[in-house]
Amino acid sequence: NQRTAETLEAKLREAQATYGRQWKGLILDLRGNPGGLLDQAVRSADLFLATGRIAATRGRHPQSSVNHDATEGDLAAGIPIVVLVDGRTASGGEILSSALQDRGRAVVVGTATYGKGLVQTVIDLPNGGEIDLSWSRLHAPSGYALQGLGVLPNICTSGNAANRGLNGLAAGESGLAKTFAQWRTVATGNTGVRKSLRALCPPEDGTAEAEEVARRLLSDRALFTKALAPTGAVAGLRP
């Protein structure tokens, strides 16, 4: 949809006008989102980020390597954000969720995402046909390639793991920082390790449990901050 970012911006401004200082949190539901246009995903993330990297594309051709950086202010004015994802969240949905997660702007809840991180370009043929050419790979702000790996949520809901994750956070026992570091530094060609990392939070369809987790995080600022912490610890890593 070529108006995704425009529509989202309008909704954010409407929420600001309606709730003002009473606006305490935001849930972005990207479950089942197959993606869409690259520029719309980047512009949507830009609505929540004032500066810094949103995404990057890297390929063999020099023109395929592009950095996408934030240029707008944060329309949500720094309020806590929870992003819901599942195994069908792909492409543009992964750009948005990884950008907000890596930049420490949102807590991601759900399962490992699909892992579709290729950018295609269309070449027109003289006979009216077309060739879809995979042009580059999508990289999250911390540098890792999304293709075949996807986004690892801060709170995993696979196999009813959400309560364990929340209880571990509350008790200060989360071991996510190490897992996040491995996720962000594994080599693109190391398919075995990438597969084993995805198995830590297997892709599944979204459930109502994720929504309950999101509401609990937004109602407890201390718990939300703890959920953000592992992301901040590895935000500067590059593979």
| Residue 11 · residue 49 · CB < 8 Å | no
Q: What is the mean pLDDT of the chain?
A: 90
Could you tell me the sign of the dihedral formed by the alpha carbons of 160, 162, 163, 168, in that order?
positive
Rounded to whole angstroms, how far apart are CA atoms 142 and 239? 8
Average pLDDT over residues 204-211: 90
175 burial class (0-12, 13-18, 19+ CB within 10 angstroms)? exposed
Terminal Cα distance for the chain, rounded: 32
pLDDT at 206 over 70: yes
What pLDDT, on the 0 to 100 scale, is given for residue 189?
92
Q: 3-state DSSP call for residue 28? A: strand
What pLDDT, on the 0 to 100 scale, is given for residue 163?
64
| Residue 71 · residue 46 · CB < 8 Å | yes
Residue 239: which pLDDT band, with cuts at 50, 70 and 90? very low
Residue 72: which pLDDT band, with cuts at 50, 70 and 90? confident
Average pLDDT over residues 181-205: 93
pLDDT at 45 over 70: yes
pLDDT at 79 over 90: yes
| Residue 129 · residue 160 · CB < 8 Å | no
| Residue 78 · residue 96 · CB < 8 Å | no
Among residues 44, 102, 142, 226, the one annotated as catalytic is 102
From the CB of residue 144, how many other CB atoms can be counted at a distance below 10 Å? 27
**What are the φ and ψ backbone dihedral angles of 147, each rounded to 5 degrees?**
-60, 125
pTM: 0.91
Residue 232: which pLDDT band, with cuts at 50, 70 and 90? low
Rounded to whole angstroms, how far apart are CA atoms 31 and 53? 24
What pLDDT, on the 0 to 100 scale, is given for residue 86?
98
Residue 155: which pLDDT band, with cuts at 50, 70 and 90? very high
- Candidates 1.10.510.10, 3.90.226.10, 3.80.10.10, 3.40.50.300; correct CATH number of 4-228? 3.90.226.10
Q: Check if 74 is active-site.
A: no
2 vs 55, more confident: 55
Give residue 217's Cα distance to chain centre.
17
Q: Two tokens at 187?
A: 């080599």
- What percent of the chain clears pLDDT 70, i.e. is strictly above it? 91
| Residue 89 · residue 151 · CB < 8 Å | yes
Average pLDDT over residues 6-24: 94
What pLDDT, on the 0 to 100 scale, is given for residue 15?
94
Mutual angle of helices 4-19 and 38-46, in 10-degree steps: 20
DSSP state of 145: B
Among residues 116, 136, 158, 226, the one annotated as catalytic is 116
pLDDT in tens, 80-134: 999 999 999 999 999 999 999 999 999 999 999 999 999 988 889 999 999 988 8
Which residues does 142 contact at the CB level (< 8 Å), separation at least 6? Answer: 102, 184, 234, 235, 236, 237, 238
Among residues 91, 98, 136, 142, the one annotated as catalytic is 91
Q: Check if 102 is active-site.
A: yes
Residue with tokens 């594994």: 186
Q: Check if 195 is active-site.
A: no
